[in-house]
Amino acid sequence: MSLLAFLAETAAHGGEHGEGVKAPFPAFDPTWFASQLFWLAVFFLGLYFALARFILPKLSDTLEKRANRIAADLDEAARLNNQSVEAQKALELRLAQARAKARETGDKAREKTEAELAAETSRVDADLTRKLETAEARIAKLRADAMKNVEQIAVDAAEAMTARLGVKASRSDVKKAVAAALEQRG
Amino acid sequence: MTLPFPGFLPTVSTDPIHQFKIFSLLDWNVGAYNLSFTNSSFWMLVSTGLVLTFLGLAASRGGLIPNRLQSLGELSYGFIADMVRSTAGEEGLKFFPFVFTLFFFILGANIVGMFPYAFTTTSHIAVTGALAIVVILIVVGYGIYKNGLGFFGLFAPHGVPLPVMFFLVPIEIISFLARPITLGMRLFANMLAGHIMLKLLAIFVVMLAGAGLAWAAWVPYVLLIPITALEFLVAFLQAYVFALLTCVYLKDAIHPSH
């Protein structure tokens, strides 16, 4: 069919429609209104009851179940989280306690060691001091003895020297002179 | 019963109006009424059947972790529930099954109508008009049941000076009365016009090719592709608009004060 023929046919159809000879425009044809309304009511109400009675409650039930499950899971997660936070706190407390105890033990041990060390040191000091004193006393005595000997030797030497030189000097004079000389020298 | 079914056979009429013709498949007269099972009834059965199958399968699984079909069903549920809640408020959820049914009934009919040889039940004013009238009857009925005469406060907005009221009230009444007409007309006209446009373009392709103007036939042919896509969008959009306006009107019934 050519384009022109198609247009002609459409025009003819429109003409017929305008004259109202043929059937009216289908959407406004009252012949089928009753049938359309009846079957619309049947199918629409059927769909409505199937949806409202069975399908929508089931869907909403599923959605609600899921929401509850998610909420429950979140609650559980929060509870476990709290638990872990508490455990963490307890752990920190225990750690702090242990650390304090360790410090205390360490301090005690150190104090004890220091005390022992001090006691030992003082004992050794005292010992050393005592030994030193003994030694010093001995040295002083030895020195005094030595000094006495020196005096005697000096007196003997001086007496010998005066005798050799032909100077008359009594033993007591020599002793005095030596003592004076020694005293002078310190 | 008339056989063969002309509407089911792969013959194509060149008349763009032909696709809207109703014919009886199963004659049935009750008293003075012709309640025959027609091609319109058949395609309404198909579309509601498809909707029921889809939603039934989606709902029946009820898994904690949804599969695709179940997800789609649950998304539909959430989509309509959110629309009702945000438009008509929590109290509007009483009408959620009704709005849900409306949306899916219209969507099913519109989408099924997009397939070749199918009949678009929503392209008839009897169907869309009846749906619109049902909506308005529910709005008025519930509005009066809920608010008594206070429902008519809908026509007299608060804080308007008296002289303005004389103009405003008739306008409000007329706009209210226009609601079922516009609601039904909008869906009907959209579906009718869309299908006529598709048909005309398709026929134009054949006519131009038949007239030896194959090169020119490409123009309507290419144009047909986006317009088909557009008609699918319109099919969804009109169902959505119908459901949304139903919610808006229901809000008026629940809270008549402006």
> Is residue A20 in a domain?
no
Closest chain B C-alpha to A79 CA, distance in angstroms: 23
Residue B244 token pair: 């949304």
Cβ-Cβ contacts under 8 Å, A34 against chain B: 33-35
In a domain, B1, yes or no: no
The answer to whether position A63 is within a domain reads yes
Distance from CA of A42 to the nearest CA of B (A): 9
Please choose, from the candidates B211, B87, B69, the residue with its C-alpha nearest in 3D space to the C-alpha of residue A1.
Answer: B211
Nearest to A69 among B64, B77, B96 (CB): B64
- DSSP lists the bridge partners of residue B34 as B29
Whether residue A128 lies inside any domain: the answer is yes
- Rounded CA-CA distance B50/B73 in Å is 13
Mean pLDDT, rounded, for B34-40: 93
pLDDT at B52: 96
B207 and A44 within 8 Å at the Cβ level: the answer is no
The yes-or-no verdict on residue A132 having pLDDT over 50 is: yes
Taking only the tens place, the pLDDT of each residue in B167-221 is 888 999 999 999 999 999 999 999 999 999 999 999 889 889 888 888 888 999 9
Contacts 24+ apart (CB under 8 A), A18-27: A25/B17, A25/B20, A26/B17, A26/B20, A26/B21, A26/B22, A26/B124, A27/B20, A27/B123, A27/B124, A27/B125, A27/B126, A27/B188, A27/B192
Running DSSP on this structure, what letter comes out for residue B31? T
Å between A37 CA and nearest CA of chain B: 7
Contact B77 A56 (CB under 8 A): yes
Chain A residues touching B73 at Cβ < 8 A: 59
**Dihedral of CA B158/B160/B161/B164: which sign?**
negative
Residue B1 is predicted with a pLDDT of: 36
Q: List CB contacts (< 8 A) between A60 and chain B.
A: 77
Residue A105 lies in a domain: yes
Asked if the structure places residue A16 within a domain, the reply is: no
Per the CB < 8 Å rule, is B96 touching A56? yes
CA B246 from chain center: how many Å?
A: 11
For residue B176, being part of any structural domain is answered with: yes
Residue type, B55: L
Best of A44, A64, A73 to mutate (most B CBs within 10 Å, chain B): A44
- For residue range A155-168, list pLDDT tens digits in order: 888 888 888 887 77
* B6 pLDDT higher than 80: no
H helix runs in chain A, sequence order: 3-19, 33-49, 56-165, 171-185
CA–CA separation, A14 and B156 (whole Å): 46
Residue A21, in any domain of the structure: no
Average pLDDT over residues A127-133: 95
Is residue B25 in some structural domain? no
Please indicate, yes or no, if residue B69 is contained in any of the structural domains.
yes
Separation between Cα atoms, residue A85 and residue A144, nearest integer Å: 86
- Backbone dihedral angles phi then psi of residue B12, each to the nearest 5 degrees: -115, 125
Check the CA dihedral A65-A67-A71-A76 and report its sign: positive
* pLDDT tens figures, B154-164: 888 777 888 88
- B155: its two tokens: 């026509």
Closest Cα in chain B to A68: B64
Q: What is the pLDDT of residues B213-241, one digit of tens each?
A: 888 889 999 999 999 999 999 999 999 99
**Higher pLDDT pick, A151 / B80:** B80
Local confidence band at A12 (pLDDT 50, 70, 90 cut-offs): very low
Amino acid identity at A86: E
Q: What is the pLDDT of residue A22?
A: 62
CA separation for the pair B184, A100 (Å, rounded): 84
Supply the pLDDT for residue B110: 96
Per-residue model confidence (pLDDT) at position A17: 43
**Residue A25, pLDDT above cutoff 80:** yes
Which residues constitute the domain of residue A169? 31-185
Selected residue with higher pLDDT from A117 and B149: A117
For residue A120, pLDDT over 70 is answered with yes
The pLDDT of residue A108 is: 96
- Identify whether A113 is part of a domain: yes
What is the tally of structural domains in chain B?
A: 1
Note the pLDDT tens digit of each residue in A66-86: 999 999 999 999 999 999 999
Over residues A118-147, mean pLDDT? 93
CB-CB: which of B36, B188, B211 is closest to A2? B211
Give me the pLDDT at residue A159, please: 83
- Crossing angle for the helix pair B214-254 and B96-113, to the nearest 10 degrees: 170
Highest mean pLDDT among A115-129, B12-26, B165-179: A115-129
Pick B62's closest partner by Cβ from A35, A52, A58. A58
For the record, the structure tokens of A113 come out as 């060691």
Report the range of poorest mean pLDDT among A14-28, A125-139, B22-36.
Answer: A14-28
A38/B35 touch (CB, cutoff 8 Å), yes or no: yes
Which residue of A27, A36, A59 is in closest CB contact with B73?
A59
Test the A interface: residue of B13, B36, B102 with most A CBs within 10 Å = B36
Task: Reply yes or no on whether the pLDDT at A18 is more than 50.
Answer: no
Name the token pair of B221: 């042919």
For residue A76, tell me if it sits in a domain: yes
Domain count across chain A: 1
Give the separation between CA A93 and CA B67, rounded to whole angstroms. 49
Q: Sorting pLDDT into bands at 50, 70 and 90, what band is B8? A: low
In angstroms, the CA A87 to CA B201 distance is 75
- What average pLDDT does the structure give for chain B? 90
As given in the structure block, the two tokens for residue B198 are: 């598709």
Q: Are the beta carbons of A26 and B213 separated by less than 8 Å?
A: no
pLDDT of residue B12: 66
| Domain region containing B248 | 37-254
Q: What is the ipTM of this complex?
A: 0.90
Q: Does the pLDDT of residue B2 top 90, yes or no?
A: no
> How many CB atoms are located within 10 Å of the residue A52 CB?
15
